A and B are shown apart, each in its own frame.
Chain A
Amino acid sequence: MDLGDIDISELSFSEQFYLNFISQGNNVRKSLDVMTQNPMEYNTALLMKIIKDNENTEYGQKYDFANIKSIEDYQSKVPITDYDSYADYIYRMTENGEKNLLTSYEVIHYAKSSGTMGNPKRIPITSLNQDINMKYNYAYLFNLFAEKVGLEWIKYPFLNLTELSMSKLPSGDTYGSISGKIMDVFGDMISEITTSPTEALIPRVGTNIRYIHARFALVNPDISFTISSFVSLFLEFLRYIKGNWELLVNDIKNGTIDESIKMPSEVRESLFGKIEPMPERAEELRKIFEEGFDEPIVPKIWPRMSLLIGCGSGGFKNYLKKIKEFTSPDFNFALVGLTASEGIFSLFTDLNNPDSVLIPDSMFYEFLPVDANDDYGKIVTMDKLEEGKEYEVITTNLSGFYRYRMKDVVRCIGRYNNTPMIEFLYRLDQCLCLAGEKVNGENIRAAAYKTEKDFGFDLIEFSVYVDSDSSPMKYVYLMEVEDFPEDVTKECIQEKLNENFCATDSVLRNKIEKSIIGKTELYFLQPETYLLYKELMVARGTSPAQVKPPRILRDEQDVSFFNVLRDDELNKNNGLNMEEIILKSNIENLDSILLKIEEFLEDKDVSIKSKLKLELIIEELFVNICNYAYEKEGEIKIQYGLLEDPLRITMNFIDCGVKFNPLDKEAPDLTLEANQRDIGGLGLTIVRKNADEIDYKYENNQNILSIEKIF
């Protein structure tokens, strides 16, 4: 970026602020380019600096930092750690304000990090760490953005969906999410350069934040970009507008806040001071919304908006696809790489590119191969990363963590200059294994999203847990969905989900087919269950910005929470496990199905007469499908199961042939002479006479004929 010809004195404060970052960005990009040519030199130098600077801390003395001269010294003297290794030190720092325990650098903040159900963690952030955050989160990013789209945007406000709430610790230090702390740089300017008012950025309890964000964003057509800690928040925001645009437009027109919108009365009062009737903008918006949401809506509402900044790797990938339905093709994404309270692990190499490169001056990296089974002897430095291999990240950061296991698993996907690029795969503690298969977040997501696509419902959130009480053990999916398809049964979706899940891992398929692992189960949850979960976690003290939907439930309490909130209506099923056989629609196969049913009834208390009648029914239906369903040959799926009281068999005959409801035909007149009767109808008469129930439906392009026969 050449900024040489801009007259700074003409610019507003915020424009100067952006330009300052953009011009710093030139150097950041240059230095990144240099460092990534020779990453080990810079990464080793960083480690040595950290060790030297901290040799007089309590931790540094305990592990003899003073006599560490090389990476090998460091690895032999300093142990691998987790959060518990630091908990006592951090307690003394945050409760008593003690200093120089873990780090000699100035601690400026403690990041609230989602632990599991237990207490949220307090991760120290030093000024050095924050400098790195500024450098790569803003200078680098804004520079790339300006290079791509020019400088027009610095005049306009942005939409900020990141919460800025912070609390104070007994030591006086601030405590809150890292994403909020990174936004701190905007200081008092934040209310001038973002659209959302303080009421949404530092929300009071019981405030409908989504409404406020949407309301204040919609009135401003000039928004130029969006910052969202996780990209999913932006999708939530757009979905809210889609679902509530009429209310929003009315409020904008009249300068009102609809009664149904929840917020404390003081918040409502103070917001009234910030709004006024805007009939013209309301009319503009109404026209846009009335055109529908089939075409991208973002460029119509905010023609200048051309960038979304947020975490979009790993589990967030699927949200991106959905956001793109709302945005124009030239909309940009700055997908911050692996970013955590502990520091920035990797940095995107360009806009719209999810690949990210390690940053040699951000932290000292070590990697434990996932297949090393916790053998610390196999830990490698960044220069030894092999492409395609999976590793857990171990960090020594600028904030007092030394050889800290992140439990994040990444894959090395190549090199940028000479520095490894990584993609985030999953959290290590989210890997499941029942019987030798390796199932992680990726498998679980792939199966869920494939199933969502197959049936065209809207998957809001979902979780998976292992039901280890059942025999055999099995995976259970819990899904919150919208736009549930009307003509599909839950069993049908469950069946497909199991198939999609098996398709993600051959070992898993093998175990399920052999019944070593049970078939995958599915339950739907009540509407807004995940919102309730979020509120429950917040009530227990987790920062709202940090509550992520729990993908894999490990905690008994979580499992029972979601299970008690199943949606009985959607989960309705007859409680029956049906067996199933799929045959080609060829009359030669009639014997196979008859034999199968005979085996199935072998040890049941069924009279020969009943069996014969059942055979008649099966024969008629099977032959009927063979003759009429397909032009050539297709498949017939037959499901069958037993029900009690009275003992009876229930069967479904399913084909994908031409739509045909045999029950539409009148029962033939049996008083006519045989040669005058309709032959096809006669077969069905036999079925009608012998079956106790008969039912037909057409679902998902399938003819489904169901019968019951009481024995």
Chain B
Amino acid sequence: MNIKKNYNGKELTIEVGDRIDTVTAPDFENEIMDEMGKFDSLIIDFTDLEYISSAGLRVLIATQKKLKPENIPMTIKNVNDTINEIFKMSGFDKILKIE
């Protein structure tokens, strides 16, 4: 897994590449947690992401839960077909904002 973070004003874009699996999911979560409170909008860019496991999905759901009370939007962008299929089949497309 590799991660790049980019601020555009208070809008944070996190690009995640390669795999988010049981091993890397905690790092992914920590990277997001490190930025908590610094942004008012979060974009997660999955252009280079090839695989996401249940542990990765749990991070997304947990992050969304944390942001909701503060009304901070979270958007997932540039999802490839494989990952999109995972979102759709798991029902995550109904609770996450995916562009």
- Residues of A in contact with B (beta carbons under 8 Å apart): 205-206, 260, 262, 264, 525-529, 531-532, 535-536, 539-540, 557, 560-561, 563-565
Contacts and interface: CB of A to CB of B under 8 A. Distances in A.
B4 interface: no
8 contacts: A526-B53, A532-B57, A535-B61, A539-B61, A560-B89, A564-B85, A564-B86, A564-B89
A528 B58 contact: yes
B66 A206 contact: yes
A525 B57 CA distance: 14
- Which 3 pairs from chain A and chain B are nearest by CB? A564-B89, A560-B89, A526-B54
Interface string B41-68: 0000000000001110110011011100
A527 B91 CA distance: 18
A338 B90 CA distance: 33
Contact of A528 (B55, B85, B90): B55
Given A536-B91, A564-B85, A205 B66 contact: yes
A149 B85 CA distance: 57
Contact of A532 (B58, B66, B89, B95): B58
Given A526-B22, A557-B91, A539 B54 contact: no
Residue with the highest number of chain A CB atoms closer than 10 Å, among B57, B61, B66: B57
A205 B65 contact: yes
B62 A565 contact: no
A529 B53 CA distance: 9
Nearest to B33: A262
Interface residues of B, number: 20
Contacts of A565: 53-54, 90
B90 A539 contact: no
Contacts of B66: 205-206, 264
A536 B92 contact: yes
Nearest to A480: B54
Interface of B: 22, 26, 53-55, 57-58, 61-62, 64-66, 69, 85-86, 89-92, 95
A300 to B, nearest CB: 32
A82 B55 CA distance: 38
A561 B58 contact: no
B59 to A, nearest CB: 10
A316 B92 CA distance: 30
B90 A564 contact: yes
B54 A529 contact: yes
Given A206-B66, A526-B54, A528-B55, A561 B91 contact: yes
A549 to B, nearest CB: 14
A527 B65 contact: no
Given A526-B22, A527-B22, A565-B90, A539 B55 contact: no
Contacts of A535: 58, 61-62
Contacts of B69: 205
Given A526-B54, A532-B58, A539-B64, 16 more contacts: A205-B66, A526-B53, A527-B22, A527-B55, A528-B55, A528-B58, A532-B54, A532-B61, A535-B61, A536-B90, A536-B92, A539-B65, A539-B95, A561-B89, A563-B89, A564-B86
B71 to A, nearest CB: 14
Nearest to A557: B91
Contacts of A206: 62, 65-66
A561 B92 CA distance: 9
Contacts of B55: 526-528
Contacts of A526: 22, 53-55
A525 B58 CA distance: 15
A561 B90 CA distance: 4
A260 B64 CA distance: 19
B65 A528 contact: no
B95 A536 contact: yes
